[in-house]
Amino acid sequence: MTRLQKKLSDHKSLIVFITAGDPDMETTLQIMKNMAEEKVDCIELGMPFSDPIADGAVIQRSTSRALKQNIRLEDIFGLASRFRQQYDTPVVLMGYLNPILHMESERFILRAKAAGVDGLVIADLPFEEGEEMETLCKKHDMALIYLLAPELSTQRTAAIVKASTGFIYCIAQYGTTGSESRSPASLQSVVESIRLYTDKPVMVGFGVSSEEKARQICEYADGVVIGSWLIRELERATDKPACARDFVRNLKKAMSIQV
C-alpha cells in the first residue's frame, strides 16, 4: 500500500489545494507544514501555468501571483523535497500537460518521485490520450489521478475509474474550480454509481465552499478536495500560515461529525 492509499483509507479525508509560490515559496512551505501539523490527509500542490483553463477566478489570481515569482518546476520539486524531510503527508502535484512535456514526461516523473511526490493530477490530459503517462506513472510507482466528470455510469466512467490510481477525483460540476456545485442529491447518485466499479476512495472537489457542503458530501463520499475556498481565505489573511492551520483544524472538526 502506498503512502497515499494508506493515508486516505478508513476515514473521511480532507485534501487541500494550494498554489506553489503564492505569495512566495517560503510562505508556501510554512502553509504546508502548518496543514500537516493539523493532520490534513493530502496536499494538492498547484504548478503555476500561464493558461489554467480548468481553474476559476480565485485560483487564476493565485496562479498569477505565483508566476510573478518566476516559479519553475525545479523550484516546486525543491519545495516538495524540503517538506518531505519533515512530514509524511502525501503530496500530489496538480497542473497542466505542457510544462510536463517541455521537461519530458519521464524526467518530470523521476524528479517528482525523488522529491517525495505521491501523485499527479493533470487537468488537461484526456483519458483517451493518457496511455503513455499511465505507463510511465505505473513504471515509477506514481499515482495518476484523472478528473472524473459528474455523470452517471458509462463505459467511459468505468475505464477512467480503472485507470486512476491513488483515489478517484470526482468533480462536483462541469466547469471551472470554485463555482457552485450541483445539488448533493444528484452528486450522491453519481458517487454511488462510481462505487459500482471500484473500492478506491472517492473524493469530491470543485465547488466545495462551506463546512455544510463538506459535511453533506462526506455522508456518501470518502472525502473532499478544497481549493478556491481556502485560497480565498488566504488572500484575506495577514498571517497566511496561521490561516491555513486554522482552516484545516476547523474543517476537519466539522467533517468529523459524519465519520
Catalytic residues: 44, 55
Dihedral-angle region of residue 21 (phi above 0 means left; psi in -120 to 50 means alpha; beta otherwise):
left
- CA gap 15, 90 in Å, rounded: 10
Q: What is the number of residues in the chain?
A: 259
* Cα three-residue angle 240-225-254, rounded to 5 degrees: 75
Cα 129 from Cα 57, distance rounded (Å): 27
Amino acid letter, residue 168 = I
CA distance 179 to 150: 14
d(CA 192, CA 189): 5
Q: Pairing relation of β-strands 91-95 and 119-122?
A: parallel
Q: In angstroms, rounded to a whole number, what is the distance separating the alpha carbons of residues 42 and 170?
A: 16
Q: Sign of the C-alpha dihedral, residues 193, 185, 12, 171?
A: positive
Backbone dihedral region of 207: left (phi > 0), alpha (psi from -120 to 50 degrees) or beta? Answer: left
* Nearest alpha-carbon partner for 16 in 238, 175, 246: 246
